[in-house]
Amino acid sequence: MKIDTLIKGGTIVTSTGSVPRNGKEMNDVRIIEKGYIAIDDGVIVEVAEGDPSRIEAKTTINAEGKVVTPGLVDPHTHLIHVGSRENEMALKLKGVSYLDILKSGGGILNTVRSTRSASDGAIISQILKSLRRMVKYGTTTAEVKSGYGLNTEQELRLLRLMHNLDSLQPIDIVPTFMGAHAVPEEYKNDKDAYVHLVVEDMLPKVAEEGLARYCDVFCEEGVFDIDDSRYILTKARELGLGLKIHADEINPMGGAELAAELRAVSADHLLASTDEGLMKMKEAGVIAVLLPITSFNLEEKFARARDMIEMGLAVALATDYNPGSSPTESMQFVMNMAAVKLKMTPEEIITAATLNAACAIGMGELIGTIEEGKAGDVVVFDAPNLNYIPYHLGVNLSNTVVKRGSIVYKAQE
Ligand code: IZC
Ligand code: ZN
């Protein structure tokens, strides 16, 4: 057999299938010691144990002594913006809360100002810098939300710019419209008029141009309430978009219940969700996307991952990359925190960062596992076994990152 790329000799660790793994099933990963993966034309054509000597490959990657996983999937990021917010760190360290910073015109609104006034080129160069970091750390697919434009022209601009990124870097981007990220300064005394603008002007244009696969809302005290969120998401659903929701991050808003009611693909954060809300999510098949770096960085509590897994929910993990509450591109850091703070097992973590994350952005058929027919997206970790990945903290363990069969990152050894 002649193929493009062969990865051989490593310990392959992968979930299986195209649908989310729920609860305890998240532990059922397939482990192939001394396995090989054959990739041709960007697609996995064979995965097996043993000697691949009959296979002739243009590129061979020796993964002996290393762990091979599916490419990591980051299903929740706010990557597209200009600027950073290290100037708010001092306030934060003095104890000023995330929502108080936002209320006083900082936070998201700070980033909206720098993004609106930036050129397209400046936006593209900042996001490319982040995407390149993500590739090095093993991410091969990412969701990206708009939400730093907050008017029709600027929101559409951010979504259109996302569509240019495919030709500039290897990560596949799944675009989400998040006009309901904050109420912009011009509408600060008339939130309802802004919600109306999102529903009547932005959403139809986003849908008509096919600019986004999902619509997301920041459902939080002082931002958008449950009724606003229901109104916006219902309209988005009518227009054919999938639904996501920033749910119960800081205050118990009933976001988990709303996600279940509207059959959102995911509800994200969930720090303050009730058991009832979580049970409803489980019954409706809503994926729980957990963002432990945000908890760590805001010194909030952590989501109840163990309870969720006990209840039978499908849990996914994401960076929540954004310039305020989670300035990191590293899914490996997320995986560390998922072990230490969410008490997830290494098997659950791998499932949450690959298959379940892929399902949280509607990509479970194409990516998220190492199986025949899936895209050839793979990370070779400089780790002797799976447990080592969430155990070894704060450095980059990726040795080789492969996107659709091509090497897109190789560490210096
Ligand atoms: O820029 O603060 N939580 N939205 C909701 C964010 C964080 C992004 C930001
Ligand atoms: Zn977020």
Task: Kindly report, residue by residue over 275-294, the tens digit of the pLDDT.
Answer: 999 999 999 999 999 999 99
pLDDT attached to residue 51? 86
Using a 6 Å CB cutoff, which residues line ligand 1? 78, 107-108, 111, 218, 246, 322-325
Q: Residue 66 in contact with residue 13, Cβ under 8 Å?
A: no
* Protein residue closest via CA to atom 8 of ligand 1: 322
pLDDT attached to residue 303? 98
Q: How far apart are the first and last CA of the chain?
A: 30
Testing ligand 1's pocket by substitution, the residue of 84, 114, 320 carrying the most ligand atoms inside 8 A of its CB is 320
pTM above 0.75, yes or no: yes
Percent of the chain having pLDDT more than 90? 98
Whole-number Cα distances in Å, 107 to 46, 102, 181, 326: 48, 5, 11, 12
Residues 274 and 277: their CA atoms lie apart, in Å, by: 5
Whole-number Cα distances in Å, 193 to 128, 132, 185, 206: 34, 38, 12, 19
Q: Which ligand is nearest to the CA of 182?
A: 1
* Protein residue closest via CA to atom 5 of ligand 1: 218
* Protein residue closest via CA to atom 3 of ligand 1: 325
* Protein residue closest via CA to atom 7 of ligand 1: 325
Tell me how far the alpha carbon of residue 92 lies from the centroid of ligand 1, in angstroms. 14
Q: Residue 279 in contact with residue 310, Cβ under 8 Å?
A: no
Backbone CA torsion sign across 100, 102, 105, 111: positive
Sites in the chain below the pLDDT cut of 50: none
Q: Which atom of ligand 1 is nearest to the CA of 249?
A: 3
Helix, strand or coil for residue 172?
Answer: strand
Q: Which atom of ligand 1 is nearest to the CA of 324?
A: 2
pLDDT attached to residue 382? 98
pLDDT attached to residue 413? 77
Tell me how far the alpha carbon of residue 63 lies from the centroid of ligand 2, in angstroms. 35
